[in-house]
Structure 1
């Protein structure tokens, strides 16, 4: 299956040349910026979005909602790691060479890529995180999915992946995250609930300030004598 896209008339190859051609026309500083963004920058941004999401969901007043949200958030990076592991046998089975091995004239921004091309690990991780964050919180999930799409564009722009490598990564990351989310929730929710009850680690699940405010807001029960006086 190494010859998935070796014909120049293939739309996959044509789109590769069109997107990678933008790198040839761009100034050198743009190429260097895209190299950093595509290799490290977007994944770092996704981590920051995940931390921002965690900071937000732990401020929920309802403990059970905070527990379920944090459990879903914990699953997101675990799903990304699992999806990359699933990709190892896929790559070995397909054995698709990198596009610059099969095609000439590409502007390759990252050297030293000797592994197989299908599917893209970067696209897989990025979309797995995006899908996991979307399950946790819609707003942060949409931001993360947007970053994942940008990651896919960067990988083709850099000349290290075909468009279908990226699409396959998106599909793999999404499938692993969503299909295993119910099982992950069953396993992670009790653990996160136990952490939320810990005096030392509970702040990881629910903000102590929120807990304190909620405790003050709960009215104290009135003494029985007051009830008897009102009835009289």
Structure 2
């Protein structure tokens, strides 16, 4: 596969700009292009922990997210082997790449890094929408960094990004639809309690307060539990209020 001319021109302009920046920027870019994947892995763990106290649907979305990312990666990797686009750091004359050029046979289109970053961001948004403002710009920055360090054309990362945000959400939603009914029964298993968390139905069970009764002073107090039946001794005590015993006679003085 031959890279489009406009993409090669953009690649050359971006890498020449990057090459003119201070060396510490190169170090940050080289580390950041892979470190972002570790951040997404940490967010997967955080999303799973958050889902332990949520619904069955939330839990299956959190558990299915990494598998959906792997599915998107496999689509990207298989595509590379068929299309066989050479890396720009070898194909473009005088390429100013910051990092070492990958070995021959490690094809360029689409970008696996961009696919994984976009897929990770997409499935996190599906399961945890409030994170969209964090993960989507992060994925875009990671995708761009592959051009910045000189190992991909712009169209490589654009295609990888589109692939990731398309394939991964479809896979995670299909998995959720198929597997969600199994989560609630599994939450009842003792061995699965830590992985899946307690069932929301269990968490919703709150103790029912005892009914209140009036007491002197106008302060309500919980009604006491029923007591045992009065003893025989209590039945023979005189009625203090009437002055008579239970048989209607006054007790002897």
- TM-score higher than 0.5: yes
Shift of residue 194, structure 1, vs aligned partner: 3.5
- 1:86-165 superposed matches below 5 A: 86-114=75-103, 115-165=106-156
Q: Structure 2: how far apart are the matches of 1:27 and 1:207?
A: 52
Where does residue 16 of structure 2 map in the other structure? 21
Are 1:4 and 1:96, in contact at CA under 8 Å, matched by a contact in 2?
A: yes
1:220 shift after superposition: 6.9
2-side partners of 1:140 and 1:87: how far apart? 25
Per mean C-alpha deviation after superposition, the further-off stretch among 173-182 and 156-165 is 173-182
How much does 1:113 deviate? Answer: 0.6
Q: Classify the secondary structure of the residue corresponding to 1:160.
A: coil
2:180 match? 189
User: Residues 76 and 164 from structure 1, CA distance in 2 versus in 1: closer, same or farther, beyond 3 angstroms?
Assistant: same
TM-score (norm 1): 0.80
Q: Could you tell me whether the CA contact under 8 Å between 1:95 and 1:118 is conserved in 2?
A: yes
**CA apart distance, 1:24:** 1.0
TM-superposition CA deviations, 1:131-189 (whole Å, max 9, x none): 11111010124422222111111101010011111111111112211233332113332
Q: In structure 1, what is the Cα distance between the partners aligned to 2:150 and 2:112? A: 15
CA distance in 1, matches of 2:179, 2:210: 35
Instruction: Return the match for 1:202 from 184, 193, 208.
Output: 193
How far is 1:112 from its partner? 4.7
Structure 2 residue aligned with 1:82: 71
Shift of 1:202: 1.8
**1:213 shift after superposition:** 6.0
Question: Higher helix share goes to which structure?
Answer: 1
Which of 33, 38, 47 is 2:28 aligned to?
Answer: 33
CA contact (8 A) 1:84 1:124 kept: yes
1:229 aligns with: none
Asked if structure 2 preserves the Cα contact closer than 8 Å seen for 1:108 and 1:158, the reply is yes
**Quick one: distance in 1 between partners of 2:23 and 2:86?**
27
Does the 8 A contact of 2:19 with 2:98 survive in 1? no
When Rg is computed on C-alpha atoms for both structures, the one with the higher figure is 2
Residue in structure 1 matched with residue 242 of structure 2 by the alignment: none
Q: Which runs of 5+ in 1 are unaligned?
A: 227-232
The number of aligned residues is 210
Distance 2:186 2:100 in 1: 44
TM-score, normalisation: structure 2: 0.74
- Report the CA distance shift for 1:36/1:197 in structure 2 as closer, same or farther (over 3 A): same
Change (3 A) 1:212 1:192: closer
